[in-house]
Amino acid sequence: MGRKQADRGYVIREAREEDLPEMVQFLAKLALHVSGGPPHDLKESEHKRLLRTLHSSLDDPNKLLLVAESKHAGLVGMGYVYIWRSQGIWEQSGAAEFKSGVIDDIWVEPEFRGLGIFRALLRDLVTFAEQHHASELILEYAASNKEAKAAWTKLGFKTTGVRAAAFTSVVKQALMESQG
């Protein structure tokens, strides 16, 4: 990691404490990109929560936060992967631990796309996962994000399930109504 892409004018390196506020802004941009919402500032409580989450990842040996830094423009992208351990109870009778690399977020500023930054970030995230003996990579993207689907499919990712979400209050209400 920390390989220079001198001919391209950027460096991929591990994130540092001083990078975190800008990384929170990248996460906000990613969320707005996915939702299609208009640009707006994060609520202070959400900003602080994201800062705490990223900060706790800096010293965790099972997590890697990377940034792409341009010589002239500062930070222009980020990537995040963590190692997830699970027991393989579904496929065999004995317990076996499986490790997956979960790619949580990758963001490259729009004006810096097409320069190889995404691939350079992803290459280092994959290397980290391999070094931690992860046998697979997992990620999520919004079903409406056609750009993400095209990019990840081209890299060999296949849909393996469906993630459904509901507010706990909605599920609780439905349970109460079905008792009647």
pLDDT at residue 44, as a whole number: 84
Mean pLDDT throughout 130-141? 92
pLDDT at residue 95, as a whole number: 60
> How many Å apart are CA 53 and CA 15, to the nearest integer?
13
The residue ranking higher by pLDDT, 122 or 140, is 122
pLDDT at residue 70, as a whole number: 95
Q: Is 42's pLDDT higher than 80?
A: no
Contact 91, 47 (CB under 8 A): no
| pTM for the predicted model, two decimal places | 0.81
Q: What is the token pair recorded at 168?
A: 């706990």
Mean pLDDT throughout 13-22? 96
pLDDT at residue 146, as a whole number: 84
Q: Across all residues in the chain, what is the average pLDDT?
A: 87
Q: Is 54's pLDDT higher than 90?
A: yes
Reported residue count of the chain is: 180
pLDDT at residue 39, as a whole number: 64
Q: Where are the domains of the chain?
A: 4-179
Give the CATH fold of the 4-179 domain: Aminopeptidase (3.40.630)
> How many Å apart are CA 15 and CA 21, to the nearest integer?
11
> How many Å apart are CA 54 and CA 46, to the nearest integer?
12
pLDDT (tens digit per residue) in 75-119: 999 999 999 987 655 555 566 678 999 998 899 999 999 999 999
pLDDT at residue 20, as a whole number: 96
65: confidence class by pLDDT, cuts 50, 70, 90: very high
> How many Å apart are CA 121 and CA 77, to the nearest integer?
8
pLDDT at residue 159, as a whole number: 86
